[in-house]
Amino acid sequence: MLKLHLEFYKKLYLIRRAEEKIREHYSEDEMKTPMHMSMGEEAIVVGVLEAAGKKSQAFGTYRSHALYLAKTGESDMFFAEMYGKAAGPAKGKAGSMHIALPDAGVMMTSAVVGTTIPVALGAALANAYLKNKRVVVSFFGDGAVNEGVFWESLNFACLKKLPILFVCEDNDFAIHSRLKERLGHKPIAKVASQFYCHTDAASTTDVYEIYEMTRNMLAKMEKSGMPGFLHMKYYRYLEHVGVNEDFDAGYRARKELLPWMEKDPVKMQRDRLIRDGIKENAVLAVEKKIDEQLEKSIREAQKAPFPKKEELMQDVYA
Amino acid sequence: MYMLRSLTYEQAIAEALGQEMERDASVFVYGLDVADHKKIFGSTKGLEKFGPKRFFGTPLSEEAMTGVGLGAAINGLRPVHVHIRVDFLLLAMNQLINMVAPARFGSGGVLKAPLVIRAVIGRGWGQAFQHSKSLQSVFAHIPGIKVVMPSNAYDAKGLLISAIRDDNPTVFLEHRWLYWMEGKVPAEPYTIPLGKVRLVRKGKDVTIVATSWMNVEAYKAAEILARKQGVEVEILDPRTIYPLDKAALVRSVNKTGHCIVADYDWEFCGFSAEVAALVSENCFGRLKSPVTRIAFPHTHCATTRPLENAFYPNAVSIIRAVEKKLQLKPTDLSGEEFYSWENRFKGPF
């Protein structure tokens, strides 16, 4: 168990530190890609993806740094892509908003709200068709629930009993508009529960709790053959797009952040490790190793070559 | 040795689908009403034998179903998604243009999306402005997509098999009047390369580049012009809008010095403008007249027959354009029979 908790912490720390590094370097204007930061949501992807297992396939949004890092654990190609370099998984063509590594199960991420949901559905259909036992996880925000394609997709998944887990990461904001200004129906999970699928909801930053929730959900899904739906609340620490805070913008107050900071997912997991008997020095050693990994990734990405001009015309057709 | 039989266009499509599903277990066919008793004008007939896993109707969810095609394609399947009207495909333009088209590019060449989207286009009977469009120019405008428009049964089978085997997303546009057309079709599976024109008719006087149904109209016009005016028209069917066989079009126009583009779509910013630009860039010194475009006017198709007739160009529009180009006296068209819903064309042409 302690080993699992340490693994969780390594991933949470990797994600948090990678984004802190982005904040540190972004003003140098070498990472020329709009950043939608994951800070605050780390426990959701880490917990869900650990439960879904290595073989699972994940689809995400433009806010997918956490998803990518949780699923791949690597940061060399990640930063190469952020710096627009040829060594990135998409040779710099994707950047932050489309970061993916299909071979590692990070299939597609997208900058138009709701658009990867039906694609995840098709991947699940293929997995059922090929009987390969892979599960698909579709991550999307509360904004996507306002899109017609979300309802089309939920309907079809339930109709066809596809092996897909929908995860709504609800930070209350679609860009800057609150859920209550956008919702003409009962709470999302309640409406989803009227479909032929399993639903669960939580407002927690405890990675282990999320992991257990997801494990239970996947077990139910496997038994019944029905899809699953998780509604998870979190709080976005930084602005919608960009690396800064925006509590002076007027649409939300810093005091909203404070209770979430107290249960910050990274800090919480660190406290748990210490509480469970891991020595502070051992944690520091783990952190140091990850910091060094990130430093190296950034150094190499900065030095790496850009794609050649001819690359623009490549990969348009197979 | 090929065994040739006479098949209709719709039978040729159904045969191509059936043979590809037989050959490759990753091919499946889905879409609104594909499996009902009408079977999309008969073009999905016989596929029931593959079972509901590989042949199924869907909810009315065009956008999600297009995403399903993409997701299945990147996971190794070869989906064929069918729309009984191209107008319904417009509900899926977000998936098609934002997700399907750039899927390969955005993954740095890792993902491939071998997805075929069949859509029925064109004039029916009083179908007005939401059941009658073609839109090839819209689709061909988007990088990452191939656009195919077969104009006869032989091409329909060979091009559909090529599209299914192709690793790229392909929009496959079928004119509904062509479904009745018969042609000699080999019983065996065969492919026709995407990006090669078909020489419909050889001629020395005027080149006509015709798309989809306009090949039928052009062929009729050419036959009358040869008989009554002694003019030999050369007709080229691009068959695929993208990739476009530019070299073959340029070669023909350089030979005849005259070019008419008869495109079954709106004229403004359309495929006909693309061909006109191509000809201007490559045949400028050889042209004896400016390129003439015959296409839909900048308005909508109306329901009432006289306005519907006025909307769609036909063999007469082509004959008049050739007369003007070659400064011929008006052709006497009395006693000539032209196509209409009531006077269905069986072909071959």
Q: Could you give all domains of chain A from N- to C-terminal order, each with its CATH number?
A: 2-313 (3.40.50.970)
Contact A155 B94 (CB under 8 A): no
Average pLDDT of the segment spanning A91-116: 97
Does the CB of A282 have a partner CB in chain B at under 8 Å? Answer: no
How many residues does this entry show for chain B? 349
Which domains are delineated in chain B?
A: 4-186 (3.40.50.970), 198-326 (3.40.50.920)
A80: pLDDT strictly greater than 60 = yes
Which stretches in chain B have pLDDT values below 70?
1-2, 345-349
pLDDT at A227: 98
Of the listed B81, B131, B175, B258, which one is catalytic? B131
pLDDT at B4: 87
Does the CB of A313 have a partner CB in chain B at under 8 Å? Answer: no
A118 closest CB neighbour out of B64, B74, B107 = B64
| Lowest mean pLDDT across A235-244, A255-264, A288-297, B332-341 | B332-341
pLDDT at B124: 87
Chains A, B: CB pairs < 8 Å? 144
A-chain CB neighbours of B69 within 8 Å are 122
Does the CB of B122 have a partner CB in chain A at under 8 Å? Answer: no
Contact B112 A120 (CB under 8 A): no
Contact A117 B67 (CB under 8 A): yes
> Which pairing describes strands B146-148 and B240-242: parallel, antiparallel, or unpaired?
antiparallel
DSSP conformation letters of A74-134: --HHHHHHHTT-TTSTTTTSSTTTT--BGGGTEEEEESSTTTHHHHHHHHHHHHHHHT---
DSSP conformation letters of chain A: -HHHHHHHHHHHHHHHHHHHHHHHHHTTS-S-S--B--TT-HHHHHHHHHHH-TT-EEEEES--HHHHHHHH---HHHHHHHTT-TTSTTTTSSTTTT--BGGGTEEEEESSTTTHHHHHHHHHHHHHHHT----EEEEEEGGGGGSHHHHHHHHHHHHHT-SEEEEEEE-SEETTEEGGGT--SS-HHHHHTTSSSEEEEE----HHHHHHHHHHHHHHHHHH---EEEEEE----S-SSBSS--TTSSSS-HHHHHHHHHT-HHHHHHHHHHHTT--HHHHHHHHHHHHHHHHHHHHHHHHSPPPPGGGGGTTS--
Instruction: Tell me how far apart the alpha carbons of residues B194 and B155 are, in angstroms, rounded to a whole number.
Output: 11
Q: How close B342 gets to chain A, by Cα (Å)? A: 40
Does the CB of B107 have a partner CB in chain A at under 8 Å? Answer: yes
- CB < 8 Å from A in window 162-201 of B: 166-168
Average pLDDT of the segment spanning A139-165: 97
Average pLDDT of the segment spanning A76-91: 98
B-chain CB neighbours of A120 within 8 Å are 71
Does the CB of A310 have a partner CB in chain B at under 8 Å? Answer: no
Nearest to B26 by CA among B147, B164, B158, B159: B164
Residue B131: active-site member: yes
pLDDT at B3: 82
Which pLDDT tens digit goes with each residue over A8-58?
Answer: 999 999 999 999 999 999 999 999 999 999 999 999 999 999 999 999 999
Contact B28 A107 (CB under 8 A): no
B-chain CB neighbours of A90 within 8 Å are 106-108, 110
A102 closest CB neighbour out of B105, B107, B146 = B107
pLDDT at B348: 63
Instruction: Name the closest residue on chain B to residue A311, using Cα atoms.
Output: B108
B110 closest CB neighbour out of A102, A118, A125 = A102
Contact A90 B73 (CB under 8 A): no
A98 closest CB neighbour out of B94, B104, B106 = B106
pLDDT tier at A188, thresholds 50, 70, 90: very high
pLDDT at B134: 95
B-chain CB neighbours of A118 within 8 Å are 63-68, 70-71, 95
Contact A126 B58 (CB under 8 A): no
pLDDT at B345: 66
Instruction: Name the closest residue on chain B to residue A312, using Cα atoms.
Output: B105
Instruction: Tell me how far apart the alpha carbons of residues B159 and A169 are, in angstroms, rounded to a whole number.
Output: 44
Question: Cα–chain-centroid distance for residue B94?
Answer: 22
pLDDT at A290: 98
Contact A129 B28 (CB under 8 A): yes
Does the CB of A130 have a partner CB in chain B at under 8 Å? Answer: yes
Contact A102 B168 (CB under 8 A): no
pLDDT at B151: 97
B63 closest CB neighbour out of A118, A120, A126 = A118
- CB < 8 Å from A in window 27-86 of B: 28, 53, 58-59, 61, 63-77, 79
A-chain CB neighbours of B95 within 8 Å are 115, 118-119, 149
Would you say A164 and A124 are in contact if contact means Cβ atoms under 8 Å apart? Answer: yes
